Structure 1
Amino acid sequence: MKPPRRIAVAWSGGRDSTALLHATLVAALPLGVEVIALHVHHGLSAHADAWADFCERQTARWSRRWPIRLCVARLEGRPERGESVEGWARKERYRALRRLAMEEGADTVLLAHHRLDQAETVLIQALRGGGVAGLAGMPRQAERDGIRWLRPWLEHDPNAIAAYVRAHRLKHIEDDSNADPRFARNRLRLQVWPAIVQAFPQAATTLADTAAWAQQACACLDEFAAEDLSRMTDRHELLIAPWAAASEARRANALRHWLRARTGVPAPSSLVVRLMAELGRSGQGTWEGEGGRLRAYRGRLRWIARAPGAPMPPLREAIFAVRRAGRHVLPGWGGALLVERVREGGVPLAWLAALELRERSGGEQFQAGFGRPPRSLKKQFQAQAVPAWERDGPLVYSGGHLVFVPGLGLDARVIGLPGQPLVQLSWERKSAG
Structure 2
Amino acid sequence: MRCARCPTCRCPSCWNAATNASSPTAASPTPPTAEGRPACVAVALSGGRDSTALCHATVRAARALGLTVVALHVHHGLQAEADDWVRHLERQCRRWQRAGWPLRLRVARLTDRPPAGASIEAWARQRRHQALGRMAAEEGATLLLLAHHARDQAETVCLQALRGAGPAGLAAMPRSVVRDGLTWARPWLGCSPQAIEHYVRRHRLGHIEDPSNRDPRFERNRLRLQVWPALVQAFPATEQALVDVARQAWEAAELIDEIAAADLEAVRRAPHGLALAAWLALSPARRRASLRRWLKEQGAGHASDRFVDRLLAELPQTRIGRWPVDGPLELRLYRGTLSLSRRSSASITATDAPVWPVAIDHRWRPLPAGQGWVRLRPVEEGGLPCSRLAGSHWQARQGGERFALGPGRPARSLKKQFQTLGIPAWQRQGPLLWSGAQLLWVPGLGVEAQARAAAGEPQLSLEWSADEPDAAAQQLE
Task: Provide Cα deviations, 1:114-163, integer angstroms capped at 9, x if missing partner.
Answer: 00000000010111111111111111111122210110000000000001
Contact persistence 1:283–1:296 (CA under 8 A): no
Question: Which residue of the partner structure matches residue 222 of structure 1?
Answer: 257
2:290 is the alignment partner of 1:254: yes
Mapped contact 1:42–1:89 kept (Cα < 8 A): yes
1:203-241: CA deviations, max 9, x gaps?
000000111111111111111011100012232322222
Residues 68-217 of structure 1 mapped to structure 2, 5 A cutoff: 68-217=103-252
Question: Does 1:304 pair with 2:341?
Answer: yes
Extract unaligned runs of 5+ from structure 2.
1-32, 349-412, 417-424, 430-477
Tell me the residue number matched to 2:318.
Answer: 282
TM-score, normalised with respect to structure 2: 0.63
Q: Structure 1's 215 and 183: CA in aligned 2 closer, same or farther, altered over 3 A?
A: same
The CA distance in 2 between the partners of 1:277 and 1:261, in whole Å, is: 22
Are the aligned partners of 2:49 and 2:208 in contact in 1 as well (CA < 8 Å)? Answer: yes
Q: Determine helix, strand or coil for the equivalent of 2:298.
A: helix
- Partner Cα separation in structure 2 for residue 92 and residue 242 of structure 1: 42
Name the CA distance, whole Å, in 2 between partners of 1:29 and 1:182: 42
CA–CA separation in structure 1 for the residues paired with 2:337 and 2:39: 49
Amino acid at match of 1:244: L
Asked whether the equivalents of residues 38 and 100 of structure 1 are also in contact (C-alpha less than 8 Å), the reply is yes
Q: Is contact 1:225–1:254 with CA below 8 Å preserved after alignment?
A: yes
Q: Is the partner of 1:228 in helix, strand or coil?
A: helix
For residues 232 and 29 of structure 1, do their structure 2 counterparts lie closer, same or farther at Cα, with a shift above 3 Å needed? same
Q: 1:281 to 1:73 in 2, by over 3 A?
A: farther
Task: Find the residue that maps to 2:106 and give its secondary structure.
Answer: strand
Contact 1:294 / 1:301 at 8 angstroms: preserved in 2? no
Whether the aligned pair in 2 keeps the contact of 1:263 and 1:291 (CA below 8 Å) is no
Q: What residue is the counterpart of 2:80 in the other structure?
A: 46
**1:261 shift after superposition:** 1.8
Opposite residue 205 of structure 1, the aligned amino acid is Q
Q: Cα gap change, 1:43/1:274 in structure 2, threshold over 3 Å: closer, same or farther?
A: farther
- How far apart are 1:306 and its partner, in Å? 7.4
Q: Deviations over 1:342-367 (max 9, x none)?
A: xxxxxxxxxxxxxxxxxxxxxxxxxx
Distance change in 2, residues 1:291/1:144 (3 Å) = farther
| 1:263 partner SS | coil
- Structure-2 separation of matches of 1:99 and 1:306: 33
1:105–1:166 distance in 2 versus 1, CA, 3 Å: same
- Over 3 Å counting, the alpha-carbon distance change for 1:51 and 1:303 in structure 2 is farther
Aligned mates of 1:285, 1:37 — CA distance in 2: 53
In the TM superposition, what is the alpha-carbon distance from 1:283 to its structure 2 partner?
4.1
Give the direction of change, closer, same or farther, for the CA distance of 1:153–1:282 in structure 2 (3 Å limit).
Answer: same
Q: CA deviation at 1:281?
A: 2.3
Rounded to whole Å, the distance in 2 between the matches of 1:179 and 1:117 is 15
Contact 1:240–1:301 (8 Å) recurs in 2: yes
SS at match of 1:109: strand
Structure 1 position 243, deviation (Å): 1.2
Query: SS at the partner of 1:83?
Result: coil
Matches of 1:77 and 1:301, distance apart in 2:
40
Taking the TM superposition and a 5 Å limit, the aligned residue runs for 1:300-339 are: 300-304=337-341
Query: Does structure 1 conserve the Cα–Cα contact (< 8 Å) formed by 2:300 and 2:329?
Result: no
Change (3 A) 1:79 1:286: farther
State the partner residue of 1:265.
Answer: 301
Flag the 1:288–1:124 CA change in 2: closer, same or farther, 3 A.
same
Identify which range, 119-128 or 49-58, moves more after superposition.
Answer: 49-58
Tell me which residue corresponds to 1:368. Answer: none
Residue among 61, 66, 87 paired with 1:27: 61
User: How many aligned residue pairs are there?
Assistant: 316
Q: Residues 278 and 47 (structure 1 numbering): CA distance in 2 closer, same or farther, change over 3 Å?
A: farther
How big is the shift at 1:251?
A: 0.5
What SS does structure 2 have at the residue aligned with 1:78? coil
Q: Residue type of the partner of 1:31?
A: L
SS at match of 2:101: coil
Q: Secondary structure at the match of 2:207?
A: coil
Moved more, 57-66 or 180-189: 57-66
RMSD: 2.3
After superposition, the Cα gap between the structure-2 partners of 1:198 and 1:249, relative to the gap in structure 1 and judged at 3 Å, is same
Deviation at residue 378 of structure 1 after TM alignment: 5.1
- Give, in whole Å, the separation in 1 of the partners of 2:208 and 2:301: 34
Equivalent-residue separation in structure 2 for 1:305 and 1:70 (angstroms): 45
Distance 1:120 1:89 in 2: 19
Q: Report Cα offsets for 1:221-271 as digits up to 9, x if no partner.
A: 111011100012232322222112211100001111112222273222222
